Amino acid sequence: MENAFKNTTLIKNGRLIDPKSNIDKVTDIAIQKNKIIAIGTQIPTDFNAEITIAADGLWVLPGIIDLSAYLREPGLENKTRIHYETYAAASAGITRICCMPETESPIDTGAVVKLIRSKVKQAGFAQVSMIGALTQKLEGKQLSHMGSLKYVGCVGVTQGWNSIENLATLRKCMEYAATFELPLFLHPLEHSLMEKGGIHEGALATRLGLPPIPVAAETAAMAQIISLVEQTHTPVHFCRLSTAKSIHLLKQAKQDGLPITADVAIHQLFLTEMDLCDYNPLCHTIPPFRSERDRDALRQAVSDNVIDAICSDHQPHEIDAKLAPFEETSPGISGFETLLPLTLKLVEENVLDLKQAIAYLTHKPATLINSQAGTIQANAKADLSLFDPKIFWQLEAEKLLSNGKNTPFSGWSFEGKTVQTLIKGKTVYKL
């Protein structure tokens, strides 16, 4: 008799961990074409899979949605290419990347969106959602054509780390974005307080003789944006918070019922200003690594579910970008391949439970871009990964699949590794 099920896969005996569905059990998952059709006892008895994946001893996790990454193409091909970065993401269980606009080639027209989309399709690895430019060329003066960006599929708009002309312009941007129901992703940074700094303002900055970035550079901008949210009622997502005082402002805004959410980069939950004590350019980030007190406040915020998502803030660089004196190096960390391992370290250190940790990387960020992804249930897209919790490994920067080898976590030991990633039911990475 002819098999009624075509293009089918069965994942057998895996430990399914899906916080959105509140499932944590060993079970089977039936996939047909690009969708999950049934789980466990709901799988039809006549289901005859063409491919069977033995997942004994493995975790089956929803695909990770990474809220922030810089893919460098088009415009910065000297650093890397979309092909390499989307493959590196897939190797880490990331099935969807939110691509941030680059200053050199801002995502401010439909043509740029279509170009990136064509390169992503040609690569065939992790999927990419684009966050468009809030202003034309990210110059902070003229509003971008947000309606066109929404039409071609952008999931939000941002000014990135670029300054905006004044608060009146920002207010217009907020109101205009709201008319298209485009989420606003805003980095709180008061540029007039920043100078050319790359280190937290404190005793270490003074001792090293490096220009500092004070806490107020973040909190002053954040307070101004919150005031505009009160006036306009426009939802805002704060990107990459780094200070204890920012967490205080976030808590207060949420208690006041304002439509505000926020994320944190995973590296901010581990490193502090003291990791820069030898002028380590691999620790040059924006926002900078703050004090131990700030890091602990961020950890408490994720533990208490005050923060809404954890992201990699993936910024791959060529080797030369990190070889100059500290303040002249390019900020940023290559973060795809450490996002899940570091988040699971928070579980080892009792900062998060396992369900919380997976939620911060899957359905929670999916909600922020109005996506139904980040879950494993019937009729959902078959975007998922298989993770072996028994693999012990040590990170070696030169072995990263990303072209960016700029990580301060080289030499760190981790427990567990992604061994297979499926996107729309198709295996795009296998260890």
- pLDDT one-digit tens code per residue, 248-263: 999 999 999 999 999 9
Residue 156 falls within a domain, yes or no? yes
* Statement: residue 353 has pLDDT above 70: yes
Q: Name the residue among 288, 294, 331, 326 with its Cα closest to residue 210.
A: 326
Q: Mean pLDDT, to the nearest integer, of 340-362? A: 98
Quickly state the pLDDT bin for 196 (edges 50, 70, 90): confident
Residue 80 to residue 26: CA distance in whole angstroms = 39
Q: For residue 305, what are the contacts with CB-CB under 8 A and spacing of at least 6?
A: 356
Residue 1 falls within a domain, yes or no? no
- Residue 22 CA to chain centroid, in angstroms? 23
Residue 94 falls within a domain, yes or no? yes
Shared domain for 284 and 323, answered yes or no, is yes
Shared domain for 27 and 54, answered yes or no, is yes
Domain count, the chain: 2
Quickly state the pLDDT bin for 198 (edges 50, 70, 90): confident
CATH number of the structural domain spanning residue 410: 2.30.40.10
More confident residue, 3 or 260: 260
313 is catalytic: yes
Q: Which of 345, 368, 391 is the last residue of a domain?
A: 368
Shared domain for 306 and 233, answered yes or no, is yes
Q: Helical H runs in 336-393? A: 336-348, 354-361, 363-368
Question: Residue 271 has which token pair?
Answer: 């490193």
Residue 315 to residue 51: CA distance in whole angstroms = 36
Query: In sequence order, what DSSP letters do the residues of 124-146 get, joined into one string?
Result: TSSEEEEEEESBGGG-SSSBP-H
Residue 79 to residue 76: CA distance in whole angstroms = 6
**3-class DSSP state for residue 149?**
helix
From 18, 294, 308, 313, the catalytic residue: 313
Shared domain for 37 and 158, answered yes or no, is no
User: In this structure, are residues 217 and 243 in contact, taking their beta carbons and an 8 Å threshold?
Assistant: no
User: In this structure, are residues 157 and 146 in contact, taking their beta carbons and an 8 Å threshold?
Assistant: yes
Residue 137 falls within a domain, yes or no? yes
- Residue 142 CA to chain centroid, in angstroms? 28
* Statement: residue 5 has pLDDT above 70: no
**Number of Cβ atoms within 10 Å of the Cβ of 57:** 12
Shared domain for 302 and 412, answered yes or no, is no
CATH number of the structural domain spanning residue 175: 3.20.20.140
Give bridge partners of residue 96 from the DSSP assignment.
Answer: 65, 127
Q: Mean pLDDT, to the nearest integer, of 14-19? A: 98
Shared domain for 130 and 20, answered yes or no, is no
- DSSP class of residue 74 equals T
Mean pLDDT estimate for the chain:
95
Shared domain for 180 and 40, answered yes or no, is no
Question: What does the pLDDT read at residue 2?
Answer: 47
User: In this predicted model, what pLDDT tens digit does every residue of 106-140 receive, in sequence order?
Assistant: 999 999 999 999 999 999 999 999 999 999 999 99
User: In this structure, are residues 16 and 29 in contact, taking their beta carbons and an 8 Å threshold?
Assistant: yes
Residue 190 falls within a domain, yes or no? yes
Question: What does the pLDDT read at residue 277?
Answer: 83
Q: Mean pLDDT, to the nearest integer, of 342-370? A: 98
Rg of the chain over all Cα atoms, to the nearest angstrom:
21
Residue 309 falls within a domain, yes or no? yes
CB environment 21-50: b (16+ within 10 A), e (fewer): bebeeebbbbbbeeebbbbeeebeeebebe
Shared domain for 157 and 272, answered yes or no, is yes
Shared domain for 126 and 165, answered yes or no, is yes
In degrees, to the nearest 5, what angle opens at C-alpha 70 toward C-alphas 211 and 319? 65
Q: For residue 215, what are the contacts with CB-CB under 8 A and spacing of at least 6?
A: 200, 201, 243, 245, 246, 290, 294
Shared domain for 232 and 194, answered yes or no, is yes
Shared domain for 361 and 400, answered yes or no, is no
Residue 2 falls within a domain, yes or no? no
Residue 374 falls within a domain, yes or no? no
Question: What does the pLDDT read at residue 1?
Answer: 39
**Cα-based distances in Å from 26 to 12, 15, 89, 168, 275:** 9, 4, 26, 55, 41
Find the domain containing 14 and state its range.
8-60+380-430
Shared domain for 205 and 292, answered yes or no, is yes
